[in-house]
Amino acid sequence: MTAGFVFHSSFLDHLPGPRHPERPARLEAVTARLESSGLLGELDPAAPQLLDPEALLTVHSADHLARVRAACEHAPSAIDGDTTVSTGSWDAALRAAGGVIEACERVRTGGWKRAFCAVRPPGHHAERDRAMGFCLFNNVALAAAQLCRVGIERVAIVDWDVHHGNGTQHIFEDDANVFYASLHQWPLYPGTGAAQERGIGDGEGTTLNCPMPAGSQDPDWLGVFDAQILPALENFRPEFVLISAGFDAHRLDPLAGTSLSEEAFGAMTRSLMQFADQHCAGRLVSVLEGGYHLDALAACVESHVEALVGAGS
């Protein structure tokens, strides 16, 4: 079956500012590399629709929606010190969330085997009631919540962005049906993601944080991935795997101090594909999060997508 690709030109209309690291050039670099490598031709593209704003209420509050909408209507404006919006940000964010949900539905129903969503703005820092860390709405969390609504009983989210996905953890920390695992540099923005954070209430034990020291290299990161993340997934037995695929743990990224190569992301992708093939009927959707060195981001995405369109696609 086909590997899907979600992209839309409106994602380039989210303009945080000329010197902002989360800039449209990120997606331009990604799509150019996928085209030059020939990988784009191996993907089945889909241009996503705008998500109905009411659907955002599955994980976000009405007050949060109102604040983001007002900020976009009065743009350019800053929601916080890191998160700035333009007049195109509202539609870009709705289409990004809608695209991830659409990709999950296509994979769930068998139209695609797996998918990569080249979306922006990113999402994993967005909490139920707060936009932060370049993120407006939590794309992965919205998709996970929708999967649960349509009958998927256990969803796993694996987040390898170098920054901890505080928003995703916050949204699901008391939910026994969603497992959240994160590999991230520690200490680093946003300051969450300590190993002892394991979920609360009914969700206790369904959060796994693997904080890594600055300077960690491929053997360190992949060793923890194999020794902690994969066994925890085996224990949880998900029916669907989502990846918060940040590529800012690369050694060239300017916003962190982790020293991964692009090959590490291909290795993690293949491991999760193998897991999904064995336990989830192959159902896996990857969603772009961070990655701010353009050449490194493009190389990492190439390694990631090359794996996604590999055996079984």
Q: Is the pLDDT of residue 149 over 50?
A: yes
What are the catalytic residues?
125
CATH of the domain at 121: 3.40.800.20
In a domain, 285, yes or no: yes
Instruction: List, in sequence order, every residue forming a beta bridge with 179; answer none if it has no partner.
Output: 156
Residue 312's pLDDT band, with cuts at 50, 70 and 90, is: very low
Provide DSSP, 87-122: TTHHHHHHHHHHHHHHHHHHHHTTS-SEEEE--SS-
Domain count, the chain: 1
In a domain, 313, yes or no: no
In a domain, 90, yes or no: yes
Q: What is the pLDDT of residue 1?
A: 55
Q: What is the pLDDT of residue 2?
A: 87
The owner of tokens 């699901």 is: 172
Burial class (CB in 10 A: 0-12, 13-18, 19+), 19: exposed
Q: Which domain holds residue 114?
A: 3-308
pLDDT in tens, 36-75: 999 999 999 999 999 999 999 999 999 999 999 999 999 9
d(CA 271, CA 218): 14
In a domain, 196, yes or no: yes
In a domain, 213, yes or no: yes
pLDDT in tens, 169-216: 999 999 999 999 999 999 999 999 999 999 999 999 999 999 999 999
Does residue 59 contact residue 171 with C-beta atoms inside 8 Å? yes
pLDDT in tens, 292-308: 999 999 999 999 999 99
Rounded alpha-carbon distances, angstroms, from residue 273 to 6, 53, 102: 18, 32, 20
pLDDT in tens, 75-100: 999 999 999 999 999 999 999 999 99
In a domain, 13, yes or no: yes
In a domain, 68, yes or no: yes
pLDDT in tens, 243-280: 999 999 999 999 999 999 999 999 999 999 999 999 99
In a domain, 119, yes or no: yes
The owner of tokens 């897991």 is: 275
Q: Is the pLDDT of residue 16 over 60?
A: yes
Does residue 13 contact residue 93 with C-beta atoms inside 8 Å? no
d(CA 264, CA 248): 12
Residue 313's pLDDT band, with cuts at 50, 70 and 90, is: very low
Average per-residue pLDDT for the chain:
97
